[in-house]
Amino acid sequence: MITFKMLFYFLQCFFSNLFFMHKEYRWDLEQDQLIRSIFDTKASRIFKNAMSKVRHGQDKGTWIPPLVRATLDQHWSSTKFQNKSVIAKANRAVEKGASAYYGGSISTAAHFEKMVILLYFFLFLYFI
């Protein structure tokens, strides 16, 4: 029986070997922890996106062994996973106006409008 931890470890090893198959890099030992942290962050993002594409049917996942894929499909169709997924989607869905930050940078036009409003506000305070 394959557990989810075993499956995750297998896929993690597969991706780490995939990245280091062709090139070898060297760096100072003082920077080893920083470089490992950067690698882990990027590899985690790539792995998460790849698994998301497989789960949503955008990628067929031919690189995943059939037994592992069957275990993943079983896990993704479980009610426990579905409940977590629904809760996470609800947490990410913010009602309009509930938060000032919507992700990404604001446009230069929106920034200009904010600056003009601030300018008028300070001029109003100065002349009163």
At 70-125, the pLDDT tens digits run: 999 999 999 999 999 998 888 777 665 555 566 677 788 888 888 888 888 888 87
Give 25's pLDDT tier (boundaries 50, 70, 90).
confident
Output the pLDDT for position 121.
82
Structure tokens, 25: 């890099």
CB 2 within 8 A of CB 68: yes
CB 42 within 8 A of CB 19: no
- Which among 40, 41, 47 is positioned nearest to 63, based on CA atoms? 47
CA 73/CA 37 separation, integer angstroms: 30
CA torsion sign for 50, 56, 57, 61 is positive
Q: Check pLDDT > 80 for residue 10.
A: no
Read off the pTM: 0.53
Output the pLDDT for position 58.
93
